[in-house]
Each structure stands twice: as C-alpha cells, then as structure tokens.
Amino acid sequence: MSFVQVNDLVKRYGSHVSVDHLSFGIRKGEIFGLLGPNGAGKSTTIKMMCGLLKPDQGDIAIGGVSVRANPLEVKRKIGVVPQDLAIYEDLSARENVKFFARLYGLRGKELEERVTEALGFVGLLDRQNDRPGAYSGGMKRRLNIACAITHRPQLIIMDEPTVGIDPQSRNHILESVRTLNRMGSTIVYTTHYMEEVEAISTRIGILDHGRLIAEGTKEELVRQLAREEKLVIATDGVSPEAVEELRGHRQVERVDVEGNDITVYLQSASTYLQDILFILSNHQVRIRTLNRVEPDLETVFLALTGRTLRD
C-alpha cells in the first residue's frame, strides 16, 4: 500500500488544465523524484499535496488520511521546504526554527531540544543567533530545511531546495536528504537538476501537461524508454560516401558530422558496431577514438517531453 496516494487529481485555472486526472503512489521510505518541464503541473500538485490548494476533482491520501477531508491532520504529518525561502529576516536562525516548531505544538524542553537538533542537523548550530541577512544563499536554504523538519515529519516535500546555491551547499543538502530518508522520512523531491535526481531518488515520476507519462527507477526508465544509443567517433578525415552509407543502414537513426567527428545514433551500438566499423574501413576512414555513449535519464526525459529538464 502506498504511503502517499494521488487519485484522479484535477486542477483547472479557467480553461487551462494544470493537473489532468493525475494518479500515482509513493511508498513509505522512498525518495520520489518528481520531474517535469516548466508548466508540467509539479508545483500545483505539490500545493494540493500540502493542502494549500483544493483540487477540482480527486483526492490525495497521506498515511491513509485524506488531504481534502482532514487537512490539519495531514499537515501534522508533513514538512515542506518551499522553493521560495520561508524564513523571517528579522528573527535569528534559532528564533525562526522555534517559530515554525511551535506551529506544530512543540513546547518547553522538547521544543528547545528539537530546535537544537534541527540546527545541528543542517550545520547551523554555531550560527544559530545570527539573523538570515548574515547568511549565504546556501545557509538560508539549510535554515529553510531546519524549519521544516523540527517536528520530525513522516513526509518531507522539497520543492527545488538547491536553487541558486553553490556546489558545496548543494552537496550538503543532498547528503541531508539521504540522511533524513535513512532516519525514516519519505521524501518528495522536485528539481531542475537531473544529476540531483539521479544521485538521490529511489523512484522517479515524470509529469508533462499535468499527466504522469512515466514512472519507475532510473534503471527501469532507461531500459524501457530510451530509444537509442550513440557512438562518438573521432577520425582523421570524414568521407561523405561513408556518412551516406551509414545513414542508409537499417538500424541507424541519425548521423551527425562536426569537423572530423562522426556521431552515429542507432538502436544497439553493441549489436551493430561491427557494421559501423566495416563501413568506415571500406571507405578508408581512419578512426582515432570511438566512444559508446549509453542512454541516460536526460535522454529519456528528452524523448518523452521533447524538452530538457531546464527548459
């Protein structure tokens, strides 16, 4: 049984359908990467998951509790790390975390212990009395996470938590996500950085035009949906006749030429490599290097949506 279950979710803005009969499940203990190009419906879906938007149709259940029927009970189960920073500049880091922790009913000694725990977890305990104005962008993002996890939520929703930060802070946040997951939290993670999803997600869903168009582990998606491999061949000189014959091969999808480099897109590089080598040799094309590039998640995403993740 899924810990998060999205059932026939629909959200319209006037005549525009942002989320279109969307259904999927997230198992307890997963890091679920939710991907999609701009306008795919990710943010709208997340807002409905948090109870900030009411669906026009359908429902979401978190831990068996309906968001539509019991929004307050659901909100106690979740922590949200929004894309836009949700911190108060006129409060210290500790005061920020305490403010949000109190909203979840934490008081007294437990409140103080949990705030210290959260600040220590994100590496800000030594700067807890500073105001966010003295923080770098990465530190503000980490404070945002501390505010979301003090009540130890069962589900953490992270909407592009690494936007506009330096690589060191990004690595710190990604490691924090893994640790939170090991500690028992289920995580929904959206990003415009494919390498982040590949690094941390246990399963991935791809949205486009408000619908889930693919779902599975990285390996499953690549195996099921990647349509081609490519060979990148550096030569001492390209023969037009060789290129023409390569393009005529029944398993070759496309051949690109740039200078003395030939890129061959085909169904199976391993199966038809001998054919490619024979054609080049037959036209006296000398090969300097040959690299086989296997399909990756970016290739799958591009094939499904026609766009790269950052478009």
Q: Give the pLDDT of residue 130.
A: 96
**Rounded (5°) CA angle 184-44-209:** 110
Rounded to 5°, the CA angle 260-261-264 comes to: 140
pLDDT value of position 227: 66
Q: Which residue in 301, 50, 46, 300 sits closest to 192, CA to CA? A: 301
Give pLDDT, residue 13. 94
DSSP letter at 78 equals E
* pLDDT number for residue 310: 61
Residues 73 and 22: beta-carbon distance below 8 Å: no
Q: How far is CA 98 from CA 89, 101, 259, in A?
A: 14, 5, 61
**pLDDT of amino acid 311:** 58
Domains, the chain, with CATH or none: 4-223 (3.40.50.300), 228-294 (3.30.70.100)
E strand map for 70-192: 78-81, 155-159, 186-190
- The reported pLDDT for the residue numbered 193 is 87
Predicted local distance difference test score (pLDDT) of residue 273: 87
From the first residue on, what is the mean pLDDT of each consecutive set of 10 residues in the chain (311 residues)? 94 96 96 93 94 95 95 94 92 97 94 96 95 94 96 95 88 93 95 90 95 93 76 94 94 90 82 90 94 81 73 58
